[in-house]
Structure 1
């Protein structure tokens, strides 16, 4: 996917980094909203999100994965979004806790892309059409249905990254082969799933109780922590110079 540099004021960049926000996902969402607001409807439609019809709503990160998958499919001039597009979308979205924990398990996102490229290389040139695909392939819809069924069986509030990756591991095409070749099927133990599930539930509970005041106080606390750290370094250097 093409890269665009986003420049932030120093303080804002520090606050974003401290909050562990997914800059890529947030910027993509903001740009899509801006495109929908523009008078150039053709471009706006070209970046529309195509999502599966599901009995369980898609989580925020999963919805962003499908949006990335649509853009990836459009870039290669495809008329349908394929399973491999969703795997690339999972990597491109970048903020899923499941992906982050997979990386902690020793499988980097670059290695996922490289392995997938070796099995299902992207065309050398992007497609010329600016109109995005308006449907999922039958294989991708079936994968989404599997993820939804898993979420229903767990009485989950939304389809999350774990459900998507488990469904991708069952895929018999290039996407599933990629994950299995990298050993991600061995990473996905019951304890791994329990860890992710607990973190997701904690995050949702925290979000429900968040308020502008809490966010403001958290930001202030983060800034004070950094100030204390800087002052501590200054005082330590001052004390060391006195003893010399």
Structure 2
């Protein structure tokens, strides 16, 4: 049977040894699940978009994430583009208007509407976008990988944002990075924003949820980033 090395942070390795959990069985199950999820998204992003609801093929996407993809397809078709690109997905995230990705951007001092203005203007075309572009398909796969790494069993707009930033060739990633988006810090901001969202949802309903999340990000971001940096050094995500 082939052997694959798995590197763990020191504190986690110590805890694993003390608990005596079956490492091989757990890793096999986790890897099997991850492979299935990445394969499923890969298959979902290579087909035609015509006929029915194309977002039904996207496994584990939240309703907001599905709506974002629909808006991306609509944007591409309004531009008469040949393909749905990463820029259209970024437009969809922003147009959806009330998702965690927008809160993460705002907490990271990146203005979403300004991003729209900085995207390249479409040229006159006469196409009907019926496929996802290669960079967008890659961004979807990276979004799934980010969700798996964070231990989430769903794909939300925040994961799509991370996938766009991680993808190197797409227009959206280039615009995001030019605006100051950096993958590691956005991972930390996402983790802090999700923690803040759950905390405030459980405690009370704040009068300004975005401001509350931004404040909590400031409190929690540094320790989360430090922990993520240690993890990244061990698993080679940097």
Question: If the length of structure 2 is used for normalisation, what is the TM-score?
Answer: 0.55
Gap change, CA 1:152 and 1:104, over 3 Å in 2: closer
SS in 2 for 1:188: helix
TM-superposition CA deviations, 1:190-226 (whole Å, max 9, x none): 54122223245569x87xxxxxxxxxxx9xxx9xxxx
Q: Which residue of 2 aligns with 1:50?
A: 54
Q: Which residue of 1 aligns with 2:90?
A: 87
Gaps of 5+ in 1: 1-44, 207-217, 223-244
Q: Which residue of 1 aligns with 2:149?
A: 153
SS in 2 for 1:184: coil
CA contact (8 A) 2:84 2:131 kept: yes
1:126 & 1:79 partners in 2: Cα distance?
8
1:144 & 1:190 partners in 2: Cα distance?
16
Q: Which residue of 2 aligns with 1:102?
A: 105
Q: Which residue of 2 aligns with 1:69?
A: 72
1:111 & 1:79 partners in 2: Cα distance?
25
Gap change, CA 1:108 and 1:98, over 3 Å in 2: same
Question: If the length of structure 1 is used for normalisation, what is the TM-score?
Answer: 0.53
Gap change, CA 1:110 and 1:153, over 3 Å in 2: closer
Q: Which residue of 2 aligns with 1:60?
A: 63
| RMSD of equivalent CA atoms | 3.3
Count of paired positions: 155
Using the TM superposition, give the Cα deviation of residue 155 of structure 1 relative to its aligned residue in structure 2, in angstroms: 3.0
Q: Which residue of 2 aligns with 1:114?
A: 117
SS in 2 for 1:175: helix
Q: Which residue of 2 aligns with 1:174?
A: 171
CA contact (8 A) 1:50 1:136 kept: no
Gaps of 5+ in 2: 1-48, 208-238
Using the TM superposition, give the Cα deviation of residue 104 of structure 1 relative to its aligned residue in structure 2, in angstroms: 3.7
1:50 & 1:178 partners in 2: Cα distance?
26
1:163 & 1:101 partners in 2: Cα distance?
11
2:61 & 2:194 partners in 1: Cα distance?
15
TM-superposition CA deviations, 1:6-59 (whole Å, max 9, x none): xxxxxxxxxxxxxxxxxxxxxxxxxxxxxxxxxxxxxxx9896433855x4111
SS in 2 for 1:51: helix
SS in 1 for 2:67: helix
